[in-house]
Structure 1
């Protein structure tokens, strides 16, 4: 009797839709399902090739006329905080970090809604309800954690309030910050910066070389903050390289990868998902 080997991942392309980062442009994504016993292996491999996870899907921008979205990661061993980043660390020394299993809570959702309503009311996630939020947090086939940051309440010795949250994937070479949000009334505390800085420290303590930040988009104010975490590496032309001076990049640069979808898929380096071949029986 012969056992069927696992089927190779199938890749698909989304229909074009308005780009959330650059006005007047259309985006589309190349994606594949993330499921089964091979999910961890596939996620580790494709994350190193510019893909990101959203629930049980891995995706990468594949726009026909634009290549502005660049996957970015911080090189932990060489990172040194700037003066403003050191101030952010000092402002948030009082926060208490806790890492938990990916389980959504009412406190998380309330913070998430405050964050969206204040900072991203016109974004693609603005209408996300509590059930969709729970799916974002909980539907993960890989090793994920919810990292919470609590602030002590003045006048109460043991009570705290949730100040920031980050859904984080643990890769074999780093931490991938899937999505983070924080209390909008604490904007002066630079909580967004602090959460990234703390993830750099978590990765350093765990011996992981990278913190993956998702996509940096030159020309997009929403994504500009990522370039401040030097040394930053970006994924270009099938390889990671130092970003260097962010000013050298433009959203109007010629596409780095304008191959047909079939050729893009052919260039993806897939891991060996078959595992050891089982014994055959007569």
Structure 2
């Protein structure tokens, strides 16, 4: 009988490109393919180590002279809604949640276009067409849901979140919402409802993506109690957002080979630097 050993994922680094969060910086990402029978376990394991999913790729920042981007998650047991967050929940009590398989629709794409044109007209997704949008939603090798929020009275689609189901939480891959409903704070509401989704399913965390000190686009994430950030290969409770710096520090990041060596596979095996 022949036995084959599991193949370790190969890691690569992107070429530097302008940072979308901090002006004048260049970003670089460490990434690996997400495919095969072990895709779900790999996504579960690397999400706990600060990685994020985009279609069939897992990545995390690996910039040469900056370590501002920090993976963030909410510890559901430690979360308590603030007064303004409770108002947001009441304000959106007329929305109905529906979770479906990852399938793109014309209604979703129309909302997505309105959202981009209002909030991110010059961003990396600004030119995304309907086929690329469908790929973003549907090309997933793991357990993923499209969570839609519709107005109970009119039936209009108000918000959408592409959500991965992890073994220890839900990961909000990408969300968008009706820009004309600015007073409803839909972005905040979708996060609050995902905390409820995690509670309903006995999952301890809601993964939010990256929090970047000094970036106005990411500042809202620091407003959630129970927030944890991934620093120094461990999750730490967010105590004071002002304690984190966005200043470039050329000596703060480990070499790529050392970063890869410190990544643990789902079965607990460390990777070797030669996999880069």
Smaller-chain TM-score bracket = over 0.9
Shift of 1:78: 1.3
Give, in whole Å, the separation in 2 of the partners of 1:241 and 1:270: 21
Q: How do residues 176-191 of structure 1 correspond to structure 2 at under 5 angstroms?
A: 176-191=171-186
- Structure 2 counterpart of 1:162: 157
Kindly state the Cα deviation for residue 272 of structure 1 after the two structures are TM-superposed.
2.5
Q: Which residue of 2 aligns with 1:115?
A: 115
Shift of 1:224: 0.5
* CA deviation vs aligned residue, 1:117-159 (integer Å, no higher than 9, x gap): 0011011111111001000000000000000000034xxxxx5
Unpaired runs of 5+ in structure 2?
270-276
| Matched ranges for 1:37-186 at <5 A | 37-153=37-153, 159-186=154-181
SS at match of 2:156: strand
CA distance in 1, matches of 2:165, 2:252: 28
Extract unaligned runs of 5+ from structure 1. 154-158, 275-282
Deviation at 1:256, TM superposition (A): 8.4
Which structure has the bigger radius of gyration? 1
The CA distance in 2 between the partners of 1:260 and 1:246, in whole Å, is: 27
> 2:84 & 2:239 partners in 1: Cα distance?
20
Aligned length: 269
Partner of 1:230: 225
Show structure 1 runs of 4+ deviating over 3 A: 253-257
**TM-score of the superposition, structure 2-length normalised?**
0.95
What's the TM-score, normalizing by structure 1?
0.93
Change (3 A) 1:75 1:241: same
CA 1:253–1:25 in structure 2 vs 1: closer, same or farther (change >3 Å)? closer
Deviation at 1:271, TM superposition (A): 1.8
Shift of 1:253: 6.2
Per-residue deviation at 1:6?
A: 2.6
